[in-house]
């Protein structure tokens, strides 16, 4: 996926003042995290103990929405606004940290939560690397 994101960034006809590879990695991490969080929430809904997973489902869905938005904002370079980008990256990093913590609490019982916690940590780190570069 990173290859395709990088290819699209290289195809952008105007100047991009940010590190394209760093941004491509972050966009790909956000897209992956969005998918994994959505799938984790759905998996939680299929568990026998679904009532005990309400908070996990909620954080999964919030994180998925924020990651998707972050990927879309980062994919738009025309009229780039660093203030907005910084805000969505900070929100994404926080949502990923919160979701990773919640899912990690269920990881010993649910493999989907372990996978989700790992994807959230990767995305959080990717967002923080871009934030450090701004």
- Taking phi over 0 as left and psi of -120 to 50 as alpha, with beta for the rest, 79 belongs to left
CATH number at residue 18: 1.20.1270.360
DSSP string, 21-46: HHHHHHHHHHHHHHHHHHHHHHHHHT
pLDDT of residue 109: 96
Residues in the chain: 134
Domain, as residue range, for 41: 2-133
Whether the Cβ atoms of residue 16 and residue 130 lie closer than 8 Å to each other: no
Confidence of residue 13 (pLDDT cuts 50, 70, 90): confident
pLDDT in tens, 21-70: 999 999 999 999 999 999 999 999 999 999 999 999 999 999 999 999 99
pTM for the structure as a whole: 0.94
Number of domains forming the structure of the chain: 1
């Amino acid at each position: 996926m990173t290859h395709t994101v990088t290819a699209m960034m290289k195809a952008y006809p105007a100047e991009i003042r940010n590190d394209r590879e760093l941004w491509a990695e972050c966009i790909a991490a956000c897209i992956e995290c969005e998918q994994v969080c959505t799938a984790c929430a759905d998996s939680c809904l299929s568990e026998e103990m679904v009532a005990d997973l309400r908070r996990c489902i909620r954080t999964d869905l919030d994180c998925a929405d924020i990651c998707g938005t972050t990927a879309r904002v980062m994919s738009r370079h025309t009229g780039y606004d660093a203030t907005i980008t910084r805000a969505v990256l900070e929100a994404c990093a926080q949502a990923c940290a919160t979701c990773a913590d919640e899912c990690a609490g269920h990881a010993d019982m649910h493999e989907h939560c372990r996978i989700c916690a790992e994807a959230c940590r990767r995305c959080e780190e990717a967002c923080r690397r871009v934030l450090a570069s701004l």
